[in-house]
Structure 1
Amino acid sequence: MDWLENIRIVLVGSQEPMNIGAAARAMQNFGISDLWLVAPEPRVREDLARHPGGSLAYRLAVHAEDVLDRMRVVDTLPEAVADARLVVGTTVREREIYTGPVVGPRPMALRVAQVAPRGRVAVVFGRETSGLTTDEIDLSQLIVRIPTSPRQPSLNLAQAVLLLCYEIFGVAQAPPPPEPLQLASQAALQQLFDDLKEYILRIGFTDEKRLPYAVRRFRRLLHKARLTPGEVQLLRGFLHQSRWYAQHGRRKTDPQE
């Protein structure tokens, strides 16, 4: 189960200090210790600064204070997932199209167990009141939705963290075979998608208004391919050369018609 060290829990826009502490305790219960906060609200930062002694987060993190001690705080989600080979987004909302398949907790854990032995996996949770934005969830290759009663569809943040960590820990007892290839990092994929945005606008494939929808569909398509670092570089080189050719026209080495 050494690969549990490659699981990162990312909490975006956290609003309640007690949820941070309870999430850290849930992680510790199941052998996961890498916690990142993305742009937490000021009261969360203020609470953490009151440690030792007066922090609600630390008070709830029973026997998991070391998770909070090592926790990273960054300003943007891309910073928190840049080195991840798989980004798992969480949501309760229905959307027209996602950048990856929508699965339940157990299939999510099985996929995580395939990737984590060879690289970082980031499991991303949104704000207590509104979840992840569309742009944030677009960074995910896999989306997990926890089945709940329609009378109360959303879980408390710390409860959701506990449930998904439990599923990952359970699969770690008898994991499936690992992914045979080293997958590209989120940072490399983002560079490819940035190139793709510029390319499809330049060739008139879409316009600025419909660009987010088009890029979301391309993300979904390319995520299915489970690209390696070399494949990402190949595609970026193709896009760069295509742009150069469109700008400069025929080269002397091109075959004559």
Structure 2
Amino acid sequence: MLDNLTIVLFHPKFPENVGSAARACANMGCPNLVVVSPRNWDMGRAGALATPKGEDILRSMRVVDDLPTALAGFQHVYGTTARTGGWRKGLWTPSRAASEMVAQMQGASRVAVVFGPEDRGLTNEETEICGRLLTIPTSPEASSLNLAQAVLVVLYECFKHSVENPEAEDAPAPTPVTSNLATHEEMELLFANLKDTLAAIDYLKDENTDYWMLPVRRFLQRAPFRRSEFNMLMGICRQVKWVADKASRSDG
């Protein structure tokens, strides 16, 4: 049902939450789970909460050392946050994002949803690399959700939309297009190159350049980039930096 969706748990603290997340994946038809550098890892404690249906997902999950490795190969990355304001602007609810995510999956794109550690969530730097941020509305008096609860809510909205959307079941299999889209790691390379380019022409402020780059990131992440478009912008960056460097040498 949600074969092109992957749940990414970043640095989870409790094995039981990983097991419960695996169970949520099984409940909602999402077979893909990636765990980044889990703390206090214990397969037995995780398996006790996974139940028999979630055990297969738990056994097949990928365990990696860092977030860039976990997100390699995805075309769309969503991050989750309970905090708002500052860097965390333009937040979507899971119900609003579900239609976009399901459409992306139906187009054969690979989609990842990142959940942060139970005790602190994702940092500003970690949310920065996510194309869109999701937040789950809760009562102000009890805004903190258990990690597995949050996973279940997001998966439920995606599952519900895929069931309610006739195209999810009745449409023919989509023609794979993932090879034509820039991957997450390629977009990160583009953003780093663009940051250097804007710094070279004195567009960016000297302090907190990542913060000033955030609107540029969000603007470019509104629509997926084809690889030809990625190559074009990389070429523009190279040419602009060459001109800036030439002008700097002339002034010197």
Q: Contact conserved, 1:113 with 1:176, CA < 8 A, in 2?
A: no
1:109 maps to 2:107: no
TM-score (normalizing by structure 2): 0.88
Please tell me the residue identity of whatever aligns with 2:102.
A
Q: RMSD across aligned C-alpha pairs, in angstroms?
A: 2.0
Any conservation in 2 of the 1:101–1:141 contact (CA below 8 Å)?
no
- Identity of aligned pairs, percent? 38
CA deviation profile, 1:193-219 (whole Å, cap 9, x unmatched)? 010121122222224423011211110
What SS is found at the alignment partner of 1:27?
A: helix
2:59 is aligned to: 69
Partner secondary structure for residue 14 of structure 1: coil
Counterpart among 22, 25, 38 of residue 24 in structure 1? 22
Distance in structure 1 (CA, Å) of the matches to 2:16 and 2:208: 40
Look up the equivalent residue of 2:229 and give its one-letter code. E
- After TM superposition, list the pairs within 5 Å mapping 1:159-198 onto structure 2: 159-175=149-165, 183-198=181-196
In 2 relative to 1, CA 176–221 (structure 1 residues): closer, same or farther, beyond 3 Å? farther
Cα offset, 1:176, TM superposition:
7.6
1: CA distance between counterparts of 2:72 and 2:230? Answer: 15
Structure 2 gaps, min length 5:
169-173, 248-252
Aligned to 2:204: 206
Deviations along 1:127-158, one digit per CA (max 9) or x if unpaired, are 10110011111111111111100111110000
Task: Give CA deviations for 1:52-77 in whole Å, capped at 9, x if unaligned.
Answer: xxx11011110211111111111111
**2:250 counterpart residue number:** none
Using a 3 Å threshold, how does the CA distance of structure 1 residues 65 and 97 change in structure 2: closer, same or farther?
same
Residue equivalent to 2:227: 229
1:245 corresponds to which of 238, 243, 246? 243
Letter matched to residue 114 of structure 2: V
Q: Which structure has the highest helix share of the two?
A: 2
Where does residue 143 of structure 1 map in the other structure?
133
Q: Which moved more, 1:17-26 or 1:203-212?
A: 203-212
Contact residue 75 and residue 224 of structure 2 kept, 8 A: no
Alpha-carbon distance change, 38 to 208 in structure 1, aligned in 2, over 3 angstroms: farther
How many angstroms apart in 2 are the aligned matches of 1:176 and 1:121?
A: 20
Q: Which amino acid aligns with 2:237?
A: L
Contact 1:192 1:236 in 2 (8 A): yes
| 1:114–1:176 Cα contact (<8 Å) kept | no
1:51 corresponds in structure 2 to: none
Matching residue's letter, 2:240 = S
Name the structure 2 match of 1:52: none
Alignment check: 8 A CA contact 1:114 1:177 kept? no
* Mean CA deviation greater in 220-229 or 158-167: 220-229
Say how many residue pairs are matched. Answer: 237
Change (3 A) 1:201 1:139: same
Gaps of 5+ in 1: 49-54, 250-257
In structure 1, what is the Cα distance between the partners aligned to 2:128 and 2:210?
A: 10
TM-score by length of 1: 0.86
